[in-house]
Amino acid sequence: MNDSEQAPIIPEEGEVGFVEYQDFVSKEPFKFVSGGNLPELTLRYETYGHLNAAKDNAILICHALSGDHHCAGVHGIEERKQGWWNFMVGPGKPIDTTRYFVICSNVLGGCQGSTGPGSINPETGKAYQLDFPKLTVQDMVKAQSLLVDHFGIDRLHAVIGGSMGGMQTVQWAIDFPDRVGRYIALACGARHTAQAIAFNDTGRQAIISDPAWQQGSYDPEHGPDQGLAVARMMAHITYLSDVGMESKFGRKRRNADESKEHFEVEFEVESYLRYQGASFVSRFDANSYLYLTKALDRFDLHGPESLDATLSTVTAPGLVVGFTSDWLYPPQGNREIVESLLRLGKHATYAELAMDFGHDSFLVRAPRLYELIQRFLIR
Please tell me the distance from the alpha carbon of residue 354 to that of residue 306, in angstroms, as a whole number. Answer: 30
For the question of residue 326 being annotated catalytic, the response is yes
Specify the residue, 5 or 12, whose C-beta has the smaller distance to other proteins. 5
Regarding beta strands 37-38 and 95-96, do their DSSP bridges make them parallel or antiparallel, or are they unpaired?
A: unpaired
Q: Does 362 bind other proteins (CB under 8 A)?
A: no
For the question of residue 75 being annotated catalytic, the response is no
State the minimum distance, in angstroms, from the CB of residue 15 to other proteins. Answer: 26
Please tell me the distance from the alpha carbon of residue 150 to that of residue 25, in angstroms, as a whole number. Answer: 10
What is the Cα 46 distance to its own chain's centre?
15
For the question of residue 163 being annotated catalytic, the response is yes
Q: Which of 163, 288, 340, 361 is catalytic?
A: 163
Q: Does 319 bind other proteins (CB under 8 A)?
A: yes
State the minimum distance, in angstroms, from the CB of residue 292 to other proteins. Answer: 30
Tell me the β-bridge partners of 176. none
Q: Does 375 bind other proteins (CB under 8 A)?
A: yes
CB under 8 A: which stretch of 2-10, 164-172, 227-235, 238-246 binds other proteins?
A: 2-10
Q: Which amino acid is at 182?
A: R
Q: What is the DSSP annotation of 126-168?
A: EE-GGGSPP--HHHHHHHHHHHHHHTT-SSBSEEEEETHHHHH
Please tell me the distance from the alpha carbon of residue 143 to that of residue 136, in angstroms, as a whole number. Answer: 11
Specify the residue, 66 or 334, whose C-beta has the smaller distance to other proteins. 334
State the minimum distance, in angstroms, from the CB of residue 277 to other proteins. Answer: 35
**Could you give the string, one character per residue 322-361, with x where binding to other proteins holds by CB under 8 A and - elsewhere?**
-------------xx-xx--xx-x-xxxxxxxx-------
Q: Does 372 bind other proteins (CB under 8 A)?
A: yes
Specify the residue, 60 or 321, whose C-beta has the smaller distance to other proteins. 321
Q: Does 314 bind other proteins (CB under 8 A)?
A: no
Please tell me the distance from the alpha carbon of residue 256 to that of residue 11, in angstroms, as a whole number. Answer: 47
Q: Which of 96, 139, 210, 326 is catalytic?
A: 326
Question: H helices within the chain, ranges in order?
Answer: 137-150, 164-175, 194-208, 225-239, 242-248, 268-283, 286-298, 307-311, 331-343, 367-378
Provide the annotated active-site residues.
163, 326, 359
* Residues found near other proteins in the complex (CB under 8 A): 2, 5-6, 317, 319, 335-336, 338-339, 342-343, 345, 347-354, 368, 371-372, 375-376, 379
